[in-house]
Amino acid sequence: MNALIEGLTTPLPLFQHIQTDDVLPALDAELEKQRQCLNTLVKVKQPSWLNIMQPLEMMDESLSRIWGPVSHLNSVCDSDALREVYQQGVQKISAWNTELAQNEALFAAIRCIAEENQDLNGEQRAVLAHSIRDFRLSGSDLKGEEKNRFKTIRLRLSELATTFEQHVLDATRAFTVLVEDESELFGLPESAVAGSAQRAKAENKQGWLFTLDIPSYLPVMQYADKRDLREKMYTAFVSRASSGDLDNTQVIDELLALRKEQAQLLGFESYSAYSIAAKMADTCDEVVDFLNELAEKAKPMAIQELQDLRQFAAEYLALDDVQAWDMPYVSEKLRLHTYAISQEELKPYFPEKSVVSGMFALVEKLYGIVIRQAETEVWHDDVRYFEVFDAQNEKIAAFYLDPYARTHKRGGAWMDECVVRWQKPNGDLQLPVAYLVCNFDAPIGDKPALWTHDEVMTLFHEFGHGLHHILTQVKTRGVSGINGVPWDAVELPSQFMENFCWEREVLDLFAKHHETGETIPDDLFARMTAAKNFQSGIQMLRQLEFSLFDFRLHREYEPLSDMSVQDFLNQIREEVAVFIPPTFNKFQNSFSHIFAGGYAAGYYSYKWAEVLSADVYAAFEEEGVLNTKTAARFIDCILSMGGSRSMMDGFVRFRERKPNVDALLRHTGIV
CA dihedral 485, 488, 489, 493 (to 10 degrees): 110
User: 190-202 vs 214-223: helix axis angle to the nearest 10?
Assistant: 140
| Highest CATH level, class, for 3-141 | mainly alpha
Pick the catalytic residue from 30, 344, 417, 462: 462
Question: What number does CATH give the domain 348-530?
Answer: 1.10.1370.40
The torsion defined by the Cα of 469, 474, 478 and 484, in degrees rounded to 10, comes to -60
- In this prediction, residue 342 carries a pLDDT of 82
> Could you report the average pLDDT of every consecutive run of 10 residues in the chain (671 residues)?
95 97 97 97 94 96 97 94 94 91 93 87 95 93 93 93 94 96 95 93 95 94 97 98 97 97 97 95 95 95 97 96 97 94 89 96 97 97 98 97 92 95 96 97 91 96 98 97 92 96 94 95 93 95 97 93 93 96 96 93 94 96 97 97 94 94 91 73
CB atoms within 10 A of CB 2: 18
* Domain limits, the chain: 3-141, 175-240, 245-341+535-603, 348-530
CATH number of 245-341+535-603: 1.10.1370.10
**pLDDT score at 525:** 94
The backbone torsions φ and ψ at residue 623, rounded to the nearest 5 degrees and listed phi first, read -105, -10
> What is the model's pLDDT at position 11?
96
CA angle 436, 489, 612 (to 5 degrees): 105
**DSSP-based three-state secondary structure for 464:** helix
How would you classify residue 157: left for phi > 0, otherwise alpha for psi between -120 and 50, otherwise beta?
alpha
Q: Exposed, middle or buried, 129 (CB in 10 Å: 0-12/13-18/19+)?
A: middle
388 in Cβ contact with 396 (< 8 Å): yes
Predicted pLDDT at 77: 94
Secondary structure E strands in 359-507:
370-374, 384-389, 395-404, 414-419, 422-423, 429-430, 433-440
Fold: same for 245-341+535-603 and 348-530: yes
What contacts 491, CB < 8 A, 6 or more positions away?
605, 606, 608, 609, 610, 613
The confidence score (pLDDT) of residue 82 equals 95
As a whole number of angstroms, the distance between CA 322 and CA 516 comes to 40
CA angle 498, 593, 80 (to 5 degrees): 115
pTM of the model: 0.86
* Pairing label, strands 414-419, 395-404: unpaired
Under 8 Å between Cβ of 559 and 255 = no
| H helix or E strand, kind and range, residue 197 | helix 190-202
Q: Which residues on neighbouring strands pair with residue 387, listed in sequence order?
A: 372, 398
Q: Hey, is 427 helix, strand or coil?
A: coil
The predicted pLDDT at position 343 comes to 80
Cβ proximity of 495 and 463 under 8 Å: no
What is the C-alpha to C-alpha distance for residues 143 and 132, in angstroms, rounded to an integer? 17
DSSP symbol at 209: E
462 is catalytic: yes
CA 65 to chain centre: 21
Sign of CA pseudo-dihedral 600, 31, 125, 136:
positive
Distance from C-alpha of 117 to C-alpha of 123, rounded to nearest angstrom: 14
Q: 445 in the Ramachandran plot: left (φ > 0), alpha (ψ -120 to 50) or beta?
A: left
Helix axes 20-41, 104-115, angle to 10 degrees: 60
Which residues lie across from 340 on neighbouring strands?
Answer: none
